[in-house]
């Protein structure tokens, strides 16, 4: 088990937030997954520069699906960060396990956009993301909305109540 | 534990806290106090003393983050910090910015306020950086 932490964060790599989590959980490297960011070399470079002292890889979803088995087989411990629950759903659909030593999927900021519903502080979801969270829960994942390690949290089940 | 007072000219303290809610959520160890044009310096001194009393409850020390060295919030904070009767001990930093406020979350569990303040200042200095591009080539060495 070499994934030590799985997070959903719509900034993908937010320097100060990643550093904060890396102080709490073991991390030898960060695997960040987003098609749009991976396709933009300038944005990729800027985002990778936001984290000091920890190696960062940025992949599109297809490349992540190809590389994750080797990453999971590694002795080192990695953070896996996806921009959206939809990204993580696609990875699980491809047969890759996101079980991790933190035993849950953490969710950070998800900005308000068109057709989103707010479920918590700076956390909003659209219908596609709602379906993806439902999928992640059905596949045995505990979803925890928590911005930083010692902040208050709520689960997807709690959020689901607000959406009905 | 260490509590933090955010002491600023005008609404900067409340605005910094509103911004921090976006990134870190609530920061319950932070107590804002603001000097306003309509209330004046004397009223600020009273408000500061009341906030300090609140922030001191159950704390091993209080760090005051001021916006500006030698401004009124700084002067009032120093008056308390260097009074030998002040308990728990109070330290004062000037030049508060967004990273410093967020990083104060990481020193709140310490006990020694001097050590906490030195660490916060050192960590904040590292956040003052010019943007540069990182290497884009990615190895397969996991």
Per residue in B17-66, pLDDT tens? 999 999 999 999 999 999 998 988 999 999 999 999 999 999 999 999 99
Q: Which of B22, B25, B99 is the closest to A151 by Cβ?
A: B25
- Assign A1 a pLDDT band (cuts: 50, 70, 90): low
| pLDDT 10s digits, B119-128 | 999 999 999 9
Q: How confident is the model at residue B137 (pLDDT cuts 50, 70, 90)?
A: confident
Q: CB A46 to CB B134 under 8 A?
A: yes
Q: Name the residue among A16, A67, A150 with its Cβ closest to that of B102.
A: A16
Q: How far is CA B58 from CA A23, A73, B53, in A?
A: 26, 47, 10
To the nearest whole number, what is the mean pLDDT of chain A?
A: 95
Surface of B (63-102) touching A: CB under 8 A? 99, 102
Residue B68 to residue B45: CA distance in whole angstroms:
16
User: Who among B102, B135, B142 is closest to A71 (CB)?
Assistant: B142
> Which pTM does this prediction carry?
0.89
* DSSP letters spanning A98-137: ---TT-SEEE--B---TT-EEEETTEEE-HHHHHHHHHHH
Closest CA in chain A for residue B27: A151
Instruction: Note whether A164 contacts B: Cβ–Cβ < 8 A.
Output: no
pLDDT tens digit sequence for B71-101: 999 999 999 999 999 999 999 999 999 999 9
* A151–B26 CB contact, under 8 Å: yes
Residues 79-138 of A with CB under 8 A from B: 109, 121-122
Distance of CA A154 to the CA centre of its chain: 16
In this prediction the ipTM stands at 0.81
Tell me how far apart the alpha carbons of residues B118 and B2 are, in angstroms, rounded to a whole number: 13
* Start-to-end CA span in chain B (Å): 39
């Amino acid at each position: 088990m070499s994934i030590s932490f799985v997070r959903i964060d719509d900034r993908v790599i937010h320097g100060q937030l990643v550093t904060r989590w890396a102080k709490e959980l073991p991390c030898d490297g960060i695997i960040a997954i987003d098609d749009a960011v991976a396709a933009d070399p300038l944005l990729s470079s800027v985002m990778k520069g936001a984290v000091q002292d920890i190696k960062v890889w940025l992949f599109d979803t297809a490349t992540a699906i190809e590389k994750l088995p080797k990453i999971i087989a590694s002795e080192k411990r990695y953070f896996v960060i996806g921009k959206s629950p939809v990204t993580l759903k696609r990875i699980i659909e491809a047969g890759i396990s996101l079980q991790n030593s933190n035993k849950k999927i953490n969710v950070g900021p998800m900005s308000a956009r068109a057709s989103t519903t707010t479920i918590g502080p700076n956390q909003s979801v659209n219908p596609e993301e709602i379906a993806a969270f439902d999928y992640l829960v059905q596949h045995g994942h505990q979803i925890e909305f928590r911005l930083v390690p010692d902040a208050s949290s709520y689960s997807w089940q709690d959020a689901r109540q607000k959406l009905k | 534990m260490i509590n933090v007072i955010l002491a600023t000219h005008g609404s900067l303290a409340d605005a910094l806290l509103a911004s921090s809610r976006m990134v870190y959520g609530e920061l319950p160890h932070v107590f804002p106090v603001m000097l306003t044009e309509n209330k004046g310096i004397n009223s600020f001194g009273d408000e500061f003393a009341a906030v300090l009393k609140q922030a001191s409850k159950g704390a091993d020390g209080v760090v005051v983050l001021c916006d500006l060295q030698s401004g009124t919030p700084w002067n009032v904070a120093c008056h308390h910090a260097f009074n030998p009767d002040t308990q728990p001990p109070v330290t004062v930093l000037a030049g508060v910015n967004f990273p410093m406020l967020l990083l104060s979350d990481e020193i709140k569990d310490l006990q020694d306020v001097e050590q906490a303040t030195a660490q916060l200042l050192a960590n904040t200095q590292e956040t003052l950086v010019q943007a540069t591009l990182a290497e884009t080539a990615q190895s397969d060495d996991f």
